[in-house]
Amino acid sequence: MNQVIFHLAFPIANIPQAKAYYIDGLGCILGRENPQALILNLYGHQLVAHTTKEPLTRQRGIYPRHFGLIFTSEADWQALLERALAQQLPFREEAKNRFVQTPLEHRTFFLEDPFYNLMEFKYYRHAEAILVVLSMKK
């Protein structure tokens, strides 16, 4: 199969604030821009930030709505974490380890953009846990 690129569209309130967060802060590469949208490259995937006049509200928890990336290299995950810290991006949840010493063990953190979009960034200790149902028994 040829490489498949993920596309995700999400709401923002204004272009300059989105550019500051996603390009300057998170490190996305600007693809295209028009008065209604930014097309961004996030690690080779297409994000489209669409302006809306609808009120944007913060969700109570991290579920159900969020998006993000799963890194296959812990060093790459760590590098993004360090960038987020250095750029003082707002964390919704600080970096932590989940399901330690189980087949589902992973490192994760959540960021929240200025428009209340939540992003989770993960690194799984065992790559097979990414898409396969694994037993939690040792």
Number of CB atoms found within 10 A of residue 120's CB = 16
Q: What is the pLDDT of residues 29-66, one digit of tens each?
A: 999 999 999 999 999 999 999 999 999 999 999 999 99
For the whole model, what pTM was predicted?
0.90
The residue to which tokens 């590098």 are assigned:
79
Check pLDDT > 70 for residue 136: no
3-state secondary structure of 84: helix
Q: Which of 9, 21, 33 is nearest to 115 (CA)?
A: 21
Residues 6+ apart with CB under 8 A from 55: none
Residues 94 and 73: their CA atoms lie apart, in Å, by: 19
Q: Which of 105, 97, 99, 102 is nearest to 137 (CA)?
A: 102
Q: What is the pLDDT of residues 76-135, one digit of tens each?
A: 999 999 999 999 999 999 999 999 999 899 999 999 999 999 999 999 999 988 887 655
How far, CA to CA in Å, does 31 sit from each of 19, 111, 131? 11, 22, 30
CB-based contact 28:47 (threshold 8 Å): yes
Pairing of strands 67-71, 118-124: parallel
